[in-house]
Structure 1
Amino acid sequence: MIDSTKNLSLKRVERVKTISPKDFVENYVKPQKPLVIEQLSHDWQAYHKWSLAYLKGIAGDTEVPLYDNRPASAKDKFNQAHATMKLKDYVDLLQKGPTNFRIFLFNLIKEVPELKSHFTMPNLGLKFLDRLPFLFFGAQNTSVFMHYDIDFANILHIHFEGKKRCIIYPPSQTKYLYKVPNALISLNEIDFNNPDLDKFPALTLAQGYEAYLEHGEALYMPEGYWHNMTYLTPGFSMSLRTLPRGVKNMSRALYNLTIMRGVENLMRKFKGDQWISYKNKFAYKRQSRRLESELHRK
């Protein structure tokens, strides 16, 4: 259940129907501000064709990886799926009612090349990577934990079918988000749709944004933005991405993909779930110390 009255400090993301490449780069990419573009996909075949029923018909026999919201475990490899299922069976599951299973970072276009002709790379002054159009699926009230992407990409997140709520924070707010060390996530137990602000009081200091997406609308998330996505109805989204634009974030991406991931794999191998438990406890204690220090300064 979503309680949008909870005391998180969230502004609505700015919205436009369309935007020129020059205005987009100058007013949103350079200052790293989020934006919803309402009609970005209206001239795509995907806007008119794509639905859960359509994808079930055209790609139903494709085997897809499924994830749920179980806590991280040392037994799981990085981004290891928790189950697999044919897409047609998964769509049936979504439409029957609530399920925690969701599809995450799946390149369905690679499996069904015909789908690539249904959209074009947006002309927004950025070069999107045409080999990485990832799809995400979820059931009603399915929520993705708060995280930021390992590659520090600029992301254009286009939603299809139904409605989705997005809570996002710029990297400057990391100090309030109970970040787990050597990871890209906040503490998994935090429900950002209904947060326990007595247990996690630092969240009240974080300045973020909120956006609601409907069919065909696109959310631009700048580099390193934290995001929590909740499907208000069964649906799916496609993310297009670019490489980081600056040396600093490119270096961070390379660090995440090599050193951070390597250290994490080693620690999970040798310390197991003790390592994960230690990180979670450390994240909570570190955030409490930061909060006390900030309140003392005020």
Structure 2
Amino acid sequence: MEFRTEAPCDDIELISEWPVTESPDREDTESEDTTFSTYSNKTNSALLGISTKEANDNSDVERRKKKSLDVHNEKKKPRLDNVDFAEAALARWWRHQGRKLFTDKNLPKSTNPNTLLYWVSRTEAGQTFLSNEKHRLKKSLKQGQTTASVSAALASVEERLGDLDSAARHLDTAVSHDPHNNQYQWMVEKVKRQRDVKEKQKRMMTLLPSELLLPSATQVDRVSSNELTVEEFYMKYAKTRTPVIITDMAEKMTRGPWTLQHIKNVAGDCSAVLKKPVTDSVEWARLEDAKSVVVKDFIDNVISADGDRDLYLFDWSLPQHCLPLAEELNIPKYFAGDYLQRLSPGSQYRDTWPSLFIAAAGLRSELHVDTFGSNFWMALFQGRKKWILYPAEEQCLLYPQLLQSMDPTFEVDVTKPDLDRFPLLSLTHPVQCILQPGDLLFVPAGCPHHITNLETSVAISANFVDSSNFDCVVEELRINALIDPRAADLVKQMQSSEFKATQDFNIGDLHWNDFKKWPHDKILNQ
């Protein structure tokens, strides 16, 4: 069975001269925070000549229709002050001049505009353009054009060039001229995080031993659900941010076995956007959209001996795409008090999880961190998965990059560590495990993790909030709220005196329908 997973490079077409100036509406189906990356994705797609539809779903007919509409609509949008931020300026330069400097074989194997733009920015020609753009914007400031937009644009270029101190100074200038511009304030937070990482890395470099050695990984604790109370889980694992495998759990979560055939029977006619691994991608876990298919065809592909092994059903929301499967679930008592269910109906993230994962043997999701400070769990029904995890406080040792959002991507390949290039890896304290069918893994907020599917696997996962990560979540959402009104709504709800941020140690497993009702009877009667 054959799937076409990407469009050829010569199929990239011109859409627009103008950047998109407003954040688009989107359905909340991803675990990562994609608000600003979606904004950038549309902007970069337009300027690079790649439509958002092409970048996300290679449907020829729909892609052509959307391009025609975009050409008509986008040309009406003027650029503010004739100043582009780094991404838009780089994309425009690439399309008009830079693209001519490279042959197709030199380009990354991706139609994702963020990945292409990152690659362009790291080429010698791209660096030269950014340096020239920096000098041009500095000249504008010296000539008296000390506007917020020029200062912010210069800061964005300096950030791309790695000059974070100068970027911070020019962002301070931009905010002083336009203190109510939330995008500038969001950029301030982003640059601050990167400067903090660089400062921590500088300090940690002084602690390196004379001989660099790879650290030995310890094993994740395993404990039976029959011997672990809700309070013990919270105090020993959630509160201390310690991963744990809870055994004898997954089989209690469904009415019957969740085999590939059962999923095909229930969800077979549903549509899903598949992911594919892309080397050097800047997207979450280095997975990019491949194509949209119906689930039964994908499962047939997974089962087939000659199927495409690079296609991954990754983080597919059951509440949003296949409610009948979600309604078969019992939510484990350890997560049944999820604070996200205490939000008002329709709130962001309230109806996103659990999500479904189906992968062929050998597929990986590269090192990544789950979004907005959330904890999460994964229950495995079929196959085996190898996990490598790192403590949240060791993110700086893994060489994180903040590109499109506050969710980091990582330069390192932890399966093939290069201590000459990434010496701080020698100071990390990884833990690892082989997740078996019937196991449930708890992963604390902020922990970078890498997964390899050792066998064809079926799993579900959910992000959640409780008292252990509540403050962290509110802070992450506060920053996201600068560019996303949905996050602002969550902050408002969570900081309300009426929001019950209380931990219930007496709660039991809840059927899906009861889990979605708030308040739960036991909590209401406390």
With structure 1 as the length reference, what TM-score do the two structures score?
0.75
Q: Could you say which residue in structure 2 is the equivalent of 1:243?
A: 465
Q: Could you say which residue in structure 1 is the equivalent of 2:324?
A: 114
- 5 Å-filtered alignment, 1:1-298, equals 7-18=214-225, 19-45=228-254, 48-70=256-278, 71-72=280-281, 81-95=289-303, 96=305, 99-124=309-334, 127-128=337-338, 129=340, 131=351, 132-182=353-403, 183-187=406-410, 190-243=412-465, 245=467, 246=469, 248-255=471-478, 257-259=480-482
- With over 3 angstroms needed to count, the CA separation of the structure-2 counterparts of 1:73 and 1:187, relative to structure 1, is closer
Cα contact 1:13–1:34 (8 A) shared by 2: yes
| Larger proportion of strand | 1
- With over 3 angstroms needed to count, the CA separation of the structure-2 counterparts of 1:233 and 1:256, relative to structure 1, is farther
- CA displacement 1:147-192 (0-9 Å, x = unmatched): 111121111111121100111112111121010124523435x432
Q: Could you say which residue in structure 2 is the equivalent of 1:283?
A: none
- CA displacement 1:246-296 (0-9 Å, x = unmatched): 45412442156345889xxxxxxxxxxxxxxxxxxxxxxxxxxxxxxxxxx
> Unaligned stretches of 5+ in structure 2?
1-212, 342-350, 486-526
Give 1:206 shift: 1.0
Work out the percentage of aligned pairs sharing the same amino acid: 23
Give 1:118 shift: 2.3
Cα contact 2:335–2:464 (8 A) shared by 1: no
Measure, in 2, the Cα distance between the counterparts of 1:207 and 1:174.
11
- CA displacement 1:191-244 (0-9 Å, x = unmatched): 323333443332222112101111121000111111111110111221122126
Measure, in 1, the Cα distance between the counterparts of 2:466 and 2:232.
19
Secondary structure, aligned partner of 1:144: strand
Q: Could you say which residue in structure 2 is the equivalent of 1:289?
A: none
- CA displacement 1:55-77 (0-9 Å, x = unmatched): 12221121111112224369x9x
* Greater relative contact order, per chain length (Cα 8 Å cut-off, separation 6+): 1
> Unaligned stretches of 5+ in structure 1?
1-5, 263-298
Cα contact 1:168–1:227 (8 A) shared by 2: yes
Measure, in 1, the Cα distance between the counterparts of 2:317 and 2:434.
24
Measure, in 1, the Cα distance between the counterparts of 2:477 and 2:456.
35
Cα contact 1:33–1:222 (8 A) shared by 2: yes
Secondary structure, aligned partner of 2:367: coil
Measure, in 1, the Cα distance between the counterparts of 2:312 and 2:479.
24
Which amino acid in 1 is paired with 2:426? T
- CA displacement 1:5-29 (0-9 Å, x = unmatched): x934321000011111111111111
- With over 3 angstroms needed to count, the CA separation of the structure-2 counterparts of 1:59 and 1:36, relative to structure 1, is same
Secondary structure, aligned partner of 1:81: strand
Measure, in 2, the Cα distance between the counterparts of 1:61 and 1:85.
9
After superposing the two structures, state which structure 1 stretch, 50-59 or 95-104, moved more.
95-104
Secondary structure, aligned partner of 2:326: helix
Cα contact 2:248–2:439 (8 A) shared by 1: yes
- With over 3 angstroms needed to count, the CA separation of the structure-2 counterparts of 1:125 and 1:224, relative to structure 1, is same
| Larger proportion of helix | 2
Cα contact 1:168–1:208 (8 A) shared by 2: yes
Which amino acid in 1 is paired with 2:418? D
Cα contact 1:146–1:185 (8 A) shared by 2: no
Secondary structure, aligned partner of 2:414: coil
Q: Rg bigger for which structure?
A: 2
Count of residues in correspondence between the two structures: 252
Cα contact 1:15–1:37 (8 A) shared by 2: yes
Secondary structure, aligned partner of 1:90: helix
Cα contact 2:253–2:331 (8 A) shared by 1: no
Measure, in 2, the Cα distance between the counterparts of 1:101 and 1:148.
21
Measure, in 2, the Cα distance between the counterparts of 1:9 and 1:256.
36
Which amino acid in 1 is paired with 2:254? Q
Measure, in 1, the Cα distance between the counterparts of 2:475 and 2:222.
30
Measure, in 2, the Cα distance between the counterparts of 1:260 and 1:173.
27
Secondary structure, aligned partner of 1:58: helix
Give 1:106 shift: 1.0
Secondary structure, aligned partner of 1:146: strand
Give 1:37 shift: 0.3
- With over 3 angstroms needed to count, the CA separation of the structure-2 counterparts of 1:185 and 1:144, relative to structure 1, is farther
Cα contact 1:98–1:140 (8 A) shared by 2: no
Which amino acid in 2 is paired with 1:149? D
- With over 3 angstroms needed to count, the CA separation of the structure-2 counterparts of 1:53 and 1:126, relative to structure 1, is closer
What is the root-mean-square deviation of aligned Cα atoms in Å?
A: 2.8
With structure 2 as the length reference, what TM-score do the two structures score?
0.44
Give 1:38 shift: 0.9
Which amino acid in 2 is paired with 1:127? G
Cα contact 1:9–1:204 (8 A) shared by 2: no
